[in-house]
Amino acid sequence: MKYDRIYNFSAGPSMLPLPVLEEVHEELFNYRGSGQSVMEMSHRSKVFQGIHDEAKADLRALMGIPENYKILFIQGGATLQFSMIPMNLKKNGVFDYVVSGSWSNGAAKEAARFGKVNVVANSKDRNYAYVPDVSDLPISEDADYLYICENETIYGTTYQELPNTKGKILISDQSSMFLSKPVKVSDYGIIYGGVQKNVGPAGMAIVIIREDLIREDIDESVPVYLRYHVQDKGDSMYNTPNCWAIYFCGKVFKYLQSIGGLEAVHKNNVEKAKPLYDFLDQSKMFKGTVDKKDRSLMNVPFVTGDEELDAKVVAATKAAGFENLKGHRTVGGLRASIYNAMPKEGVVALVEFLKDFEAKHG
């Protein structure tokens, strides 16, 4: 590949679009005649305000975000959102969670600091290899919201249909599927995602929040940085934001629009994942770990069923220049994360390699 770059199958941070890296490289010392790197700009300057406003407008256009939703750029990753959501949305102090893997489980555990958590469905019985049926959940009558993690990075599952929330607010962690396909924003109260999987450099989450959920009258004990009202009033600049991530993500929004928007991105992702899933479905050595109906287009875990052989495959992929294919310890085996910026050729090359490996060692 250009610049001797590798195929990086990391679950995140992971590959970023090369055309965006090239623009950033070009502008590094002097952003468009401003005489400064974006890393050196006052966040209160006109030039940075322009970058920030453009990023928001481009994301709004790309996702079709209605006017009654705000876009916030907040540091601290998804982890800080695990706390901010219950702290800011608490009314009755009852929070409903679907636990379909590690991240929704982590979010539910964190919410329990701030109220009563009801796990209304979970898929622990088969090591989170599927998404629970969410068509008729026992939603709590006084639930402040229903929470899901829409794509579980570690287990490689994704929701095909959104839950029937029975009128409650739906909150979705889309970290590992953010901008991978079109979504209907108005179905949600909050969509959020850490940017480091599918969008930009680590150190920021994007929070898309319906404006009526931004309340000033929350508990006095909620730290100032964690208040959506403060973040919104300051237009994500109550204090100095992660300017570099805002700049970089803004470029990615433009890039995705330029290649046809999220419909085209989704089509690419479907076509890109297909050779890998097709291979797994006919292989005698490798097997996908997720129920077919719930397979993620972003994270593809698979195993041989033999830990020693798994380790051998991982070592062989690494030696062949495919990076970060070792599966998470809770699933074992291998995991190929194939986010937007992974080219189809990367997946095809991996499949060829695995075929070859199977032919030699099968």
| Interacting positions 241-280 with its own copies (CB under 8 A) | 241-245, 248
- Two structure tokens written together for 354: 């695995």
Q: Which stretch binds its own copies (CB under 8 A): 8-16, 140-148, 180-188, 273-281?
A: 8-16
Phi/psi for 163 (5° steps) reads: -65, 155
Q: Name which of residues 165 to 194 contact its own copies (CB under 8 A).
A: 194
Find the binder of its own copies among 125, 212, 220, 308 (CB under 8 A). Answer: 220
Rg of the Cα trace of the chain?
A: 21
> What is the Cα 319 distance to its own chain's centre?
28
Interaction of residue 196 with its own copies, rule CB under 8 A: yes
Q: What angle, 0 to 180 degrees and rounded to 10, lies between the N-to-C axes of helices 46-63 and 261-282? A: 60
Burial class (CB in 10 A: 0-12, 13-18, 19+), 11: buried
Beta carbon of residue 360, minimum distance to its own copies (angstroms, whole number): 25
Catalytic residue, chosen from 181, 197, 251, 254, is 197
The residue from 60, 118, 235, 323 that contacts its own copies (CB under 8 A) is 323
Judged by beta carbon, residue 61 or residue 112, the one nearer its own copies is 112
Strand pairing class (205-210; 287-288): unpaired
Token pair of 149 as six digits: 């993690």
Q: Is 42 in the site for its own copies (CB under 8 A)?
A: yes
Give yes or no: 244 in active site.
Answer: no
According to the binding rule CB under 8 A, does residue 353 interact with its own copies? no
Catalytic residue among 173, 232, 294, 310: 173
Instruction: Judge whether 318 counts as a catalytic residue.
Output: no
Contacts for 173 with CB less than 8 Å, ≥ 6 apart: 78, 81, 103, 104, 107, 147, 148, 149, 150, 192, 193
Interface with its own copies by CB under 8 A: which range of 13-21, 183-191, 257-265, 297-305?
Answer: 13-21
**Binding positions for its own copies, 58-77, rule CB under 8 A:** 75-77
> Is 2 assigned a catalytic role?
no
Q: Which of 227, 230, 208, 166 is nearest to 69 (CA)?
A: 208
Return the residues of window 86-145 that contact its own copies according to CB under 8 A: 87, 110, 113-114
State the catalytic residues: 103, 173, 197
